[in-house]
Amino acid sequence: VQLQASGGGLAQPGGSLRLSCAASGSFFSIGTMNWYRQAPGKQRELVAHITDGGSANYIDSVKGRFTISRDNAKNTMYLRMNSLKPEDTAVYYCNAWVLTTRWSGKDFWGQGTLVTVSS
């Protein structure tokens, strides 16, 4: 199983970006999916997560600006980021709990995609 994150880049303050995280390989199903971020010199933090049923939660600093979603048919998760701020600058990682068989699961991580918010 591989998670491939994409969509990062440079955005101006107030701008928007959309991140994608696509799962590939052989697996039974995907459970909760998460977006984490790690800013320079800081610990990795959970930004948002979405269950397989579509319930989502966010950290306070991104509520109202970021939207997490998923397309289960495409095994892909998204993070729409609006009204970006310089403090959103970080490497963004996707993470998912994947049932590799009907009876066992494992945590998988994507490789990270850099988001830079600067004028």
Contacts of residue 27, defined as CB under 8 A and 6 or more positions apart, other chains included, come to: 1, 98, 99, 100
Give pLDDT, residue 67. 98
Q: Mean pLDDT for each consecutive 10-residue tract of the chain (119 residues)?
A: 96 98 94 96 97 96 98 96 98 96 94 96
pLDDT for position 32: 96
In contact, 94 and 38? CB cutoff 8 Å: no
pLDDT at 38: 98
Ramachandran sector of residue 35 (left: φ over 0; alpha: ψ -120 to 50; beta: rest):
beta
The Cα–Cα gap between 85 and 55 comes to 25
* Strand ranges across the sheet with 17-24: 2-6, 17-24, 76-81, 66-71
Which residue type sits at 105? G
Give residue for tokens 């009907």. Answer: 102
pLDDT at 70: 97
